[in-house]
Structure 1
Amino acid sequence: MTEAMVGDVRVPASPREVSETLGIRDGAAFRLTPGKITHPLAQGRYQSPLRYPGAKSALAPALGRVISAATASSEVPRVDLLVEPFAGGASASLRLVGDGTVERILLADADPLVASFWQAAAADTDRLIERMQHERSTYVQRGGAVAVERWDYWRDWRPAAGVSEATARLETAVKCLFLNRTTFSGILHGRAGPIGGRAQTSPYGIGCRWNQQGLEERLRFIGHLYYTGRLVDVWLCDWQRTLEDVPERFPQLIPSRVVAYLDPPYLEKSEKLYRTSFDPHGGYAAASDEAAAQTSERVGDLHLKLAEYLRERAQFRWVLSYDADHTLIQDPRLYARREMNPSSQDRELLGVHRWRISRRLLSTRYSASGKSGKRAASELLLTTLPPSTVPLDEEFRSTHEWERAAQATTR
């Protein structure tokens, strides 16, 4: 696992405590029996401490249905690990491990702010809560110019040279949490301003999304999942490194006891919502104005790269969700094919399968960066879980009519 730079300080891609306690490097975590989840928030409505643009927590029950149905087959006897390479707010993973649909979860994100937050929430829960309490009582609760000045401070903050890795990670986590709870729509991006505006004349001030008691409970839930072995690890790396590393770390779970859930950034305008976005040169890039302008022209290229990997090289089962866009099932470089198509070499050396790719449409409501709150949308769900087990009913609709409508518009 690689390291990343936050300011002038290196932040490890995985917290040292996780590696030592759970033996993540050799897969020893799965030779241990995870503890029972006893935290009351396991069945709670809100579990993630982060507000995330485009958060699709409403999809979690549907995802749970898909995975539970698959485990009724002989091909997928159980799901020991759910991997979320675009962790973000991680609402789906938290829901599914909390209700027992999956045994354990592994989170990964390419954004150092987001990954550091989840690492600190997991392995340094008490200190993160203490820092959160301090920020609220000293700055956020006072509101007005004091709170906005603190918002500016965290926007510009970078770890000082020479600080320890643990301190850099903790303070980076505080920055993520502070900006997420005080910025419009929770967007970690330079063009989004503080809630209530800089003048703080709105009836909804900068601290209106800072529910101290609720946030503390959610953070303790994350810590509980980590110490019971249900949250196996948090990785700071992009989706491809995550998907490639899982078979190396957990070979005993390949191919059908681990499932990846991928909810990538929007096909369009992702650079306006996320602090990091798909980058034309590989991985992710910081979404500064200049970088966003360069990235937006070729964001689609990286969606093509993801599609190519999932179609041809993925070594374990996956579920993918996107805003329903006809391009996804029309473009042969995306998901027009209805089955994986690995090379003979990858089939022989990596054991990549020719799994069928099932398609379903779902209706959902989720948050975005507009002023109208949550909006209704159709979601396209693609998966390599056994086709005969994927639900087909009023909730999980066939894509046939939708596909025919797309073909009619292109004639």
Structure 2
Amino acid sequence: MRYPGGKAALAGFFGDVIDRLAMSDAVYVEPYAGGVGAGLSLLRQDRIQELVINDIDPAVHSFWRSVTQQPDEFIHRVISTPLDVDEWRHQKAIYREADETDVMALGFAFFYLNRTNRSGILNAGPIGGMNQTGNYKIDARFNRDQLAEPIVNIELSRGRGKGRIR
């Protein structure tokens, strides 16, 4: 995720605190999820046994719920969803509607806009502009394989007993 104010750089500090306190079976609770960089790093390093992801923003929460509970469907959308302005408009409408009853649709719309909007800003327009006349196009930050890989890695980590995500 492209997310301003991410806490990934704090993973080392949090890990050191966990070690100094000799905590076993540590649970890391992330109330402001965003990219969950610190929590995912701690989980991959086996420094925590459980990662609890939450966010007050329904779109962010829906994204993480979709990625952790339906990774195959999410990856399918990453691989198959068109990268053009018509699809961008469709995803923008889903995001604006903010229908929390369709967690996958809202979570994916959030992700799609984060990757296709200028600077990842959800209220910005698409990279390259509506007419796609800019130096970069809407797909500039949407490398499908690179975006699917972290989702696969999260699921694989869970399968190797590297802790639980909820």
- 1:87 and 1:176 map into 2 onto residues whose CA distance is 13
- 2:117 and 2:139 map into 1 onto residues whose CA distance is 9
C-alpha contact (below 8 Å) 1:123/1:223 kept by paired residues: no
Query: Does structure 1 residue 149 correspond to structure 2 residue 95?
Result: no
- 2:164 and 2:109 map into 1 onto residues whose CA distance is 22
Task: Tell me the residue number matched to 1:28.
Answer: none
C-alpha contact (below 8 Å) 1:123/1:226 kept by paired residues: no
Task: Tell me the residue number matched to 1:328.
Answer: none
Query: Does structure 1 residue 209 correspond to structure 2 residue 155?
Result: no
> Once the 2 structures are TM-superposed, how far is the Cα of residue 52 of structure 1 from its aligned partner?
0.6
Task: Tell me the residue number matched to 2:51.
Answer: 105
Select the structure that is richer in strand.
1
> Which stretches of structure 1, 4 residues or longer, exceed 6 Å deviation after superposition?
none
CA RMSD of aligned residues (A): 2.3
- 2:148 and 2:17 map into 1 onto residues whose CA distance is 31
Task: Tell me the residue number matched to 2:105.
Answer: 171
- 1:229 and 1:100 map into 2 onto residues whose CA distance is 6
> Once the 2 structures are TM-superposed, how far is the Cα of residue 226 of structure 1 from its aligned partner?
4.7
Match of 2:20 among 57, 66, 69: 69
- 2:163 and 2:119 map into 1 onto residues whose CA distance is 29
Structure 2 matches for 1:293-332, cutoff 5 A?
none
1:377-403 CA-to-partner distances (Å, cap 9, x unmatched) read xxxxxxxxxxxxxxxxxxxxxxxxxxx
Letter in 1 for 2:80: H
Letter in 1 for 2:155: G
1:328-347 CA-to-partner distances (Å, cap 9, x unmatched) read xxxxxxxxxxxxxxxxxxxx
1:323-367 CA-to-partner distances (Å, cap 9, x unmatched) read xxxxxxxxxxxxxxxxxxxxxxxxxxxxxxxxxxxxxxxxxxxxx
- 2:120 and 2:104 map into 1 onto residues whose CA distance is 19
C-alpha contact (below 8 Å) 2:59/2:98 kept by paired residues: no
Q: Which has the higher Rg, Structure 1 or Structure 2? A: 1
Sequence identity of aligned pairs in percent?
A: 34
1:159 and 1:51, CA in 2 relative to 1: closer, same or farther beyond 3 A? closer
C-alpha contact (below 8 Å) 1:57/1:92 kept by paired residues: yes
- 1:120 and 1:170 map into 2 onto residues whose CA distance is 5
Structure 2 matches for 1:3-402, cutoff 5 A?
50-71=1-22, 77-135=23-81, 139-140=82-83, 147-157=84-94, 158=97, 165=101, 168-188=102-122, 190=123, 192-226=124-158, 228=161, 230-233=163-166
C-alpha contact (below 8 Å) 2:7/2:36 kept by paired residues: no
Task: Tell me the residue number matched to 1:237.
Answer: none
> Once the 2 structures are TM-superposed, how far is the Cα of residue 149 of structure 1 from its aligned partner?
2.4
Instruction: Identify unmatched segments of 5+ residues in structure 1.
Output: 1-49, 72-76, 141-146, 234-411
Task: Tell me the residue number matched to 1:288.
Answer: none
- 1:92 and 1:159 map into 2 onto residues whose CA distance is 27
> Once the 2 structures are TM-superposed, how far is the Cα of residue 150 of structure 1 from its aligned partner?
1.8
How many residues end up aligned between the 2 structures? 163
- 1:176 and 1:124 map into 2 onto residues whose CA distance is 16
- 2:19 and 2:133 map into 1 onto residues whose CA distance is 48
Instruction: Identify unmatched segments of 5+ residues in structure 2.
Output: none
- 1:82 and 1:199 map into 2 onto residues whose CA distance is 44
Superposition TM-score, scaled by structure 1 size:
0.37
> Once the 2 structures are TM-superposed, how far is the Cα of residue 148 of structure 1 from its aligned partner?
1.9
Q: Secondary structure at the match of 2:51?
A: strand
1:54 and 1:199, CA in 2 relative to 1: closer, same or farther beyond 3 A? farther
Task: Tell me the residue number matched to 1:327.
Answer: none
Letter in 1 for 2:103: R
Q: Secondary structure at the match of 1:109?
A: coil
Higher relative contact order (CA 8 A, sep 6+): 2
Letter in 1 for 2:164: L
- 1:224 and 1:181 map into 2 onto residues whose CA distance is 23
